[in-house]
Amino acid sequence: MSSELAFYVHIPYCVRRCGYCDFNTYTPSELAISSDLSGVSRSYIDLLIQEIELARATSDATVVPTIFFGGGTPTLMEPVDLGRVISAIGDRFELAPNAEITTEANPDTVTPAKLEQLRAAGINRISFGMQSAATHVLAALDRTHNPDNVRAAVEGTRAAGFDEVSVDLIYGAPGESLSDWEQTLDSALSLPISHISAYALIVEQGTKLGAQVKRGEVVMPDDDETADKYVLADKKFLAAGFDWYELSNWSKPGSQCRHNMAYWNGDNWWGAGPGAHSHIDGRRFWNVKHPNAYKEKMASTGNPMHEQEILDPHAIKSEATMLQIRLREGISSDGLGAEVSTKLRGYVDGGFLDPIAWKGGRVVLTRAGRLIADRIVREILF
């Protein structure tokens, strides 16, 4: 049983829903509330603090190494209220001396004053949703931010005293050319950042984009073009001093996102807020999804949990394989069995697995291997 417990804090509010997004987020109009979310901030934070008290009462952990505010758009909340969450966790647990405390942010929702307030509240890492530097790509994604605001936001974050700043990119949007993507990469790498994430766009059912694709109104790029964009990104990031540490994440030395590493390594974490998932010692549980249902459950029972499952040893091992093979360190080849080892030997010979790591007893993806990671996982598990 681990003495550490990471916290994910879900902020389920956005000014507008992006066309590709299927995250558990809600706009003011969907919730029939004022577009000024400052009035929601305090009451919602009160509920989160109540759930943090539940975590304290049910967990044996003592130390919190990381806190991550995700959403949604956490920076729509008042910085002082995000600070109340940090204080609540610190009052009930012990914050590690070097605790990583991250918030996601939309570049349009921060000002120099707000950035200083966020830093004063205890946040020490910010991840901006940049997505693209091309205006027509942002329009295809239904993103609301002005791409010119990204630089001002990142530079303002540095000026406010943040050493760790990340940007998130999305590639493979309808109408995005390879040159559009290169423009985005060059723009991102010109910023004073320490971390960068790049995710291939996935069309999810039930989203506006999913409906557009189904109706034939937009055409998605083919897989080869998407692969070319990943390779271009990896080459440019490496040349700029950003090394990959997870399939979709690159950082300067020492700037990996430690909170996300907790997920990939199967550590314990508590997810607070509507729809948030938690994992403690092989037990996974998740909260009711809608903010109104969350509020009602907290008021009536003090526990927002919707369902749970207990992972058996096979499930734990399978999940560890699926997640950790995405990491630069890969997984151990011990115990894979002769049949799987024979299959993987072919991937070593084909240039998809690192031959030096293989000789040392590790299964580590090469750049080409990262493009077919799911296929290699299937060879191991099925």
Q: What pTM did the predictor assign?
A: 0.94
Architecture label for domain 6-264: Alpha-Beta Barrel (3.20)
**Nearest CA-CA partner of 372 in 158, 252, 223:** 223
Output 94 or 211, whichever has higher pLDDT: 94
DSSP β-ladder status, 362-363 and 331-332: antiparallel
CA dist 194 and 124 (Å) reads 13
Give me the helices (H) in 98-247, please: 112-121, 135-141, 148-159, 178-189, 208-214, 223-239
pLDDT at 28: 75
**Is the pLDDT confidence value at 226 over 90?**
yes
Per-residue pLDDT, 32: 72
What is the pLDDT averaged over residues 323-347? 95
Provide the pLDDT for residue 314: 92
Run of H or E including 315: helix 313-324
* CA separation for the pair 157, 150 (Å, rounded): 10
CA distances to 39, 111, 163, 164, 193 from 79, rounded to whole Å, are 13, 12, 18, 18, 22
Assign 1 a pLDDT band (cuts: 50, 70, 90).
Answer: low
- In angstroms, the CA 354 to CA 5 distance is 33
128, 131, 136, 139 alpha-carbon torsion, rounded to 10°? -70
| Vertex 73 angle, CA 142 and 51, to 5° | 140
Residue 189: is its pLDDT beyond 70? yes
Among 65, 100, 103, smallest CA distance to 81 is for: 103
Q: How far apart are the first and last CA of the chain?
A: 30
Residues 44-61 pLDDT 10s: 999 999 999 999 999 999
Task: Using DSSP, state whether 366 is helix, strand or coil.
Answer: coil
* pLDDT for residue 34 is more than 80: no
User: 171 forms bridges with which residues in the sheet?
Assistant: 200
1 burial (CB, 10 Å; 0-12 / 13-18 / 19+) is exposed
Q: Is the pLDDT of residue 194 over 90?
A: yes
Stated as kind and residue range, the H or E segment containing 367 is helix 367-371
Residue 122 CB coordination number (10 Å):
18
- Residue 258 region by backbone torsions, left for phi larger than 0, else alpha for psi between -120 and 50, else beta: alpha
In angstroms, the CA 274 to CA 286 distance is 9
Q: In this predicted structure, what is the pLDDT of residue 218?
A: 78
* Model confidence at 35: pLDDT above 70: no
What's the mean pLDDT in 154-171? 97
Confidence of residue 24 (pLDDT cuts 50, 70, 90): confident
- Show me where the domains of the chain are located: 6-264, 314-321+330-381
Taking 70 as the threshold, does the pLDDT of residue 311 lie above it? Answer: yes
